Amino acid sequence: LGEIEACIRGVSGITDAAVVADTGASDQRLVAYYVGEVERDTLRSHLVAELPSHMVPHAWMQLDVLPLTSNGKLDRRALPNVSADGVVRHEYQAPKGDAEQLLATLWSELLGVSQVGRLDNFFELGGHSLLAVQLSARVRTHSDYELSLATLFAYPQLGELATHLVKSNASHIEAITARQDKTQAPLSLAQQRLWFLAQSNPNLGDAYVIQSGVRLTGAVNCEALKQALNHLYQRHSALRSRFSDQQGKPYQWVDDNAQSFPLQIVDNAAHFTPSFDLQHGPLVAAQLWRQSQTRYELRIAIHHIVCDGWSMSNFISELAKVYRGYATGETREQVDAQLETLSIDYGDFAAWQQQNANDDKLEQQKQYWVERLAPFPHVLELSTDFARPTKQSFVGSEVAVRVDGELTQQLNQLAQRHGCTLYMVLLASWSLLMSRLANQGQVIIGSPNAGRLHVETENLLGMFVNTQPMAVNIEPNASLEMLLAEVKQRALEAQQNQDLPFERIVEAVQPQRNTAFSPLYQVMLALQNLPAANVELDDVSLEMLSEPVESAQCDLSLLLSEQQGELHGQLVFASALFSPQTVQAFVDYWQQLLRGFVAEAPLPVNQMALLDSAQTKQLLEELNSAATELNNSQLVHQQIAANAAAYPDAIALQTADQSLSYAELNAKANQLSRWLTQQGVSSQSCVAVCFERGVNWVIAMLATLKAGACYLPLDPHYPDQRLKYMLKDSAPSMLLTDGYREFGCLLGELDTELAEVNITSQKDWQSCRQEERDDLEVKANQLAYLIYTSGSTGEPKGVMVEHGNLQCLIDWHVRRFELGQATVTSSLAGMGFDAAVWEVWPALCAGARLVMPDLATSRDPDALLNWWAAQPLEVSFLSTPVAELAFARSVQPAALRYLLVGGDRLNRLPNSNATYTLVNNYGPTETTVVATSGAVLASDEALHIGKPLDHTRIYIVDEFGELAPRGVAGELYIGGPQVARGYLNQPALTEQRFTADRFDSRQGRRMYRTGDLARWRSDGTIEYLGRNDDQVKIRGFRIELGEIAAKLQLNGDIEEALVVVSDDGAQHLVAYVTARDGANIVPNALQQSLSALLPDYMVPRAYVQLDNLPLTANGKVDKRALPAPSESAFVHREYIAPQGPVENWLAEAWSELLSVTNVGRQDNFFELGGHSLLAVQLVSRLKQQGLTVTIGDLFEHSTLQALAARIAYLKLLNLKQKNTTSVANNMSKVNANGLKENSNG
């Protein structure tokens, strides 16, 4: 403000000036007071030229002299109200008629403008949505008109609004009247929700406590402060309320014996964290910290069930007034006279609301919310840093938010251009961000409104705020104009349907209830244009303190207020879900979106940038390793030849009955290579190799590379049709075999003649020279191998991999895992699987020993693991399913340093006694086997796939082709020199999946689109989220199947788990499991345990127990080989009669409460129509029977059978805790007529 004042004083003719943020009209705006003979318009024009628009005062007043206090300071309280002439507005025309006169009077009161004309515009005079709500309440009180926010938007000019109201002739709403018995009242509907939350969540903590703090400097009168607090404690009965239930219905009671506000005066700093007991109270607390004789801090805490933000602002304003009165010696009556008269108390409002809870208007509003919310997903599926707890944790923290004055002004101008409010612009931007972060086109944002629809409630303290679920639909190609129009429409509709409390909306919509998250919305936005607290005192300066946030009511809450032309606030977050770094990134993305909004670029909102240049640089450069020079530029066969020369007698290959030295391997490969060349094999050739695992398999591949050709690995166990397709598609020059697989008939079905050569029986090649060849040059851009991978069309795709691609893999692997001549590694992967490439070539290029099991061993999982554990292996690869089997059996080679896994999503870790480092790897065949790699530790929050390899660039891209921010799921793209050439004979598919790398400025760079979903984690590792086609939608909810499998494996009886989608007319989930130690899996029991961990839509309908999950030859789970679930695999929900006295008693109670017949033991309380109030009543009935069951128990055990079992467990626990002698005297037993009957023991 000082800068503005200085600018005004700089105008010739001005002798003094003061600028204040006027809060008298419940809306902060700048008002300038000046001394001097200068025209207002001249002053304003000067400031417009010198200052940003948000710093130009809204109103002006000329004074003869500025009022000063006795200390010579500006006396702000003595400044006069701004005059009508001071406000910049339309030419004045006097109101005409009763309706215009009424509106002019009310506008004047609310907006602080003394003279309002018929041409004036409500919003141009400083009105906003909260003031509009207050205006609506006052119009309702003083007339028979009903004014909605939509009407005010449609007719913001006073004269037009009055004309519309007269024509509409809306009916008058029933006034709130004072009740006779002031000691007891029902709970308001908003209070019912908080009461229910408190009963069902023991860990609620201070999530629903409102705190405020004031620093007082000066001659503080502590006794007057005590009197002031006590005065307000008596004035507002809500502060003295207690809560308890009678016969299953909660009530609030006013404690008339409570006279003193609970105040603690301390001389030492103490953490102010009061805990409140709703039943016994008090529900308020204050602490006065005396730092010195002239410096104090006052902190006030009030439970949300008796207070909201508006109430706290009122409380602080009234406290200042009352304190001033007592400090100057006024009597109680004199102090009371300064406060607004309260015609009702909060209990009157609660009673009125309950009496009108079922009127026709509310029924219509209920129908609106049901229809509006029905098509929307009720869970916002944000990616979180930490796994969501099964019970919602209310521990929270905050990240500060500030939007500077220039951007705030631009946002206000944007709102004006589009005929909406700042709140609507903020809701649009926040909804868009949540949509982008969650990859959901439909989002629900919780947004509180004041809930004070009657003027009588404006000065009351109490819980009036009502949170509305704002459902926003963001079309894929929506423009900013379309989005703002959508949000404006939804905001106006919500205002027209704001009478229905949130809890009633939940009961009507009946979303899937889960203790892990709040119903309908998990993210909030609040623009808190609350009545400003007036805390001006004569001899004490006051400074409002911001209280640290330690709790969170939902996942994310963006809380904002407009202060002196800027937006300030905080993003409150659940600490159990997000790290501060992630939440700070969310704030940065949101601010970037705001900048995109005000720029109004002509592009869809889903393509607006979320990242600034620094964040983009981090994703492209910091998270991707800089290019690393190859340690060895020699190609595969050249490196192996060099090893043969350096240590010829070292063992290269070892099987159960044969070993081969490097010299022998190289010599035999040279012989076969020369023979291949003699047979016409050249650099343009492809040679198919089909062998059982062994030395001849490696000789054939190495010889092919030495001949300058590329090899095609074929697994002899592949079915005929697959082999036939590969041979037909690749058209190899020759087929090398060991005779294990019979090819005669199959070759006859090919279109062209293909020669099969069995190198074990056809020995002509062994007469060729063994010396190293120097007659041909093989280049890095020539093909090294052609390998087939599964295709989406049902036919495999041939991937062409060059020598240069392969060199990147070898170079990284040898360095990363420290391979050398003494290293022992294994070859276990299927011969047609690209992991075999990874096992064989880096080991042989490093001079290591490669050991291989025989055929019988490799085909038997138990025998394979026994063989593997007995080998002196230091580095070994196992496919993920086999590795997890090894983890379950706690087996490992004694010398193992690194266990490499990959090929499937990793769901479990080895036992703590494992002595090796587990390295999880990821990479498609199209990027030469491995693209990311990283050690996985037990302390990791998620089982990641590591970081990019040295030569690799990873991009995670959203559905609109933009880089996904850190922590946000997107499709994984891979760039770098290891990206393969493409698909054989499929140019269109190659063009589709292998594209120019638009994120790399270097010419000719390409990237591969994987079709996998992933996200960057805060530590720079990547979390794999599954295939795009593994992301399925069930009942409108997006589900990741791997998450369900991981939860299944938490069950001690389950060793392996896989979840798939079955569609036999209606989509449903099917779980396939293998049992540990011969356990028998019961579908109903398994579903019940899973229901405690996952929402209903993620719980499979059928459970199939298998001896082993079927695997492909490549070691991956073969989903096509899974059997269809039998009838017995399904969990049926047909009626099953209650069993035993407890279940029968519960069934009868449910039947009465829920108005349903034939309650079965598998029925779910909430699915039958149960809601919070009915849950309280059920718990109350159980307590009357001597059973202490909580609402939390009902949430976690919501089927009749589960709740009965919980009751039995609690009874047994209670009996065990009693003295055995008293147990014999007091034991009770259950019978069909009730829950208690005396027993003799």
pLDDT digits (tens, 9 = 90+) for 490-536: 998 998 898 888 988 998 898 877 778 889 999 999 998 765 555 56
| Burial environment of residue 951 by CB neighbours within 10 A (0 to 12, 13 to 18, 19 or more) | buried
What is the fold, at CATH topology level, of the domain defined by 636-859?
A: Rossmann fold (3.40.50)
SS3 380: coil
| Per-residue pLDDT at 1222 | 46
Digit-coded pLDDT (tens) for 634-680? 999 999 999 999 999 999 999 999 999 999 999 999 999 999 999 99
Q: Measure the CA–CA gap between 828 and 830, rounded to whole angstroms.
A: 7
> CA 1110, CA 1119: separation in Å to the nearest integer?
7
- CATH architecture of the domain formed by 1140-1238: Orthogonal Bundle (1.10)
Task: Please give the Cα distance from 21 to 17 (Å, whole number).
Answer: 14
- pLDDT at 512 (0 to 100): 76
Three-class SS of residue 688? strand
Domain 1035-1132: CATH superfamily is: ANL, C-terminal domain (3.30.300.30)
Q: Does pLDDT of 1030 surpass 70? A: no
Contacts (Cβ under 8 Å, ≥6 apart) of 438? 380, 381, 382, 383
**Residue 206 above 80 pLDDT?**
no
pLDDT of residue 1230: 42
End-to-end CA distance of the chain: 81
Is there a cis peptide before residue 282, judged by omega within 30 degrees of 0?
yes
**Average of per-residue pLDDT across 378-393:** 86
Q: Do domains 611-627+878-1024 and 636-859 have the same CATH topology?
A: yes
CATH superfamily of 376-531+549-592: Nonribosomal peptide synthetase, condensation domain (3.30.559.30)
Q: Which of 289, 120, 312 is nearest to 210 (CA)?
A: 312
- Please tell me whether residue 288 adopts helix, strand or coil conformation: strand
Asked if residues 56 and 83 have their Cβ atoms less than 8 Å apart, the reply is: no
Question: pLDDT digits over 1180-1200, tens only?
Answer: 888 888 877 887 788 778 888
Q: The CATH number of 97-168 is which of 1.10.40.50, 1.10.1200.10, 3.40.50.10490, 2.40.40.20?
A: 1.10.1200.10
CATH for the 2-86 domain, from 3.30.465.10, 3.90.1210.10, 3.30.300.30, 3.40.50.720: 3.30.300.30
**C-beta atoms surrounding 404 within 10 Å:** 14
Mean per-residue pLDDT, 167-184 = 76
pLDDT value for 366:
92
- Range 812-820 average pLDDT: 96
Task: Compute the mean pLDDT over every residue in the chain, rounded to the nearest whole number.
Answer: 87
- For residues 830 and 631, the model is more confident at 830
Share of the chain above pLDDT 90, in %: 48
CATH number for the domain whose boundaries are 184-351: 3.30.559.10
The answer to whether 1017 and 1032 have CB atoms below 8 angstroms apart is no
What pLDDT was estimated at residue 1031?
A: 59
What is the amino acid identity at position 499?
A: D
Return d(Cα 1056, Cα 1072) in angstroms, integer.
8
Lowest mean pLDDT among 332-341, 784-793, 794-803, 1060-1069: 1060-1069
Quick one: how many helices (H) and strands (E) in the chain? 36, 45
- Give 977's pLDDT tier (boundaries 50, 70, 90): very high
| Percent of the chain clearing pLDDT 70 (strictly above) | 92
C-alpha dist (Å) from residue 522 to 180, 206, 467: 40, 18, 12
Give mean pLDDT, residues 534-561.
Answer: 83
For residue 348, the model assigns a pLDDT of 95
H or E element, residue 197: helix 189-200
Which pLDDT band holds residue 173 (cuts at 50, 70, 90)? low
For residues 800 and 1086, is the Cβ–Cβ distance under 8 A? no
The region, left, alpha or beta by phi > 0 then psi within -120 to 50, assigned to residue 215 is beta
- H/E stretch holding 298 reads strand 295-303
Residue 1121 three-state SS: helix
**DSSP-H helix ranges across 1113-1199:** 1140-1154, 1172-1184, 1191-1196
For 426, 561, 569, 615, 831, the CA distances from 403, given in Å and listed in that order, are: 11, 10, 9, 19, 59
Q: Which residues contact 763 (CB under 8 A, 6 or more apart)?
A: none
Those residues with Cβ within 8 angstroms of residue 907's Cβ, 6 or more apart along the chain or in another chain: 884, 943, 1042, 1045, 1046, 1049, 1057
Per-residue b or e along 578-616, where b marks 16 or more CB atoms closer than 10 Å to that residue's CB: bbeebbbbbbbbbbbbbebbbeeeeebbbebbbbeeebb
Q: What are phi and psi of 792, to 5 degrees?
A: -70, -20
- What's the pLDDT score for residue 625? 73
Give the per-residue pLDDT at 532. Answer: 54
Q: Any alpha helices (H) in 548-694, and if so which ranges?
A: 580-599, 613-617, 636-646, 662-678
Give pLDDT, residue 792: 54
Overall average pLDDT of the 373-393 stretch: 87
User: What pLDDT does residue 930 have?
Assistant: 97
User: Nearest CA to 647 among 631, 623, 665?
Assistant: 665
User: Measured between alpha carbons, how far is 1196 from 1173 in angstroms, rounded to an integer?
Assistant: 17
Give me the phi and psi of 1214, to 5 degrees please: -65, -40
User: Higher confidence at residue 900 or residue 1130?
Assistant: 900
Q: 1081 or 537: which carries more pLDDT confidence?
A: 1081
What is the pairing mode between strands 970-975 and 1006-1016? antiparallel
Instruction: Determine the pLDDT at residue 536.
Output: 62
CA dist., res. 464 & res. 176, Å (int): 14
pLDDT of residue 1221: 40
Domain boundaries, the chain: 2-86, 97-168, 184-351, 376-531+549-592, 611-627+878-1024, 636-859, 1035-1132, 1140-1238
Q: Which pair of structure tokens corresponds to residue 351?
A: 């009673």
Confidence at residue 810, expressed as pLDDT on a 0 to 100 scale: 96
Tell me which of 116 and 1229 has the higher pLDDT. 116
* Tens-place pLDDT, residues 915-974: 999 999 999 999 999 999 999 987 776 679 999 998 899 999 998 888 999 888 899 999
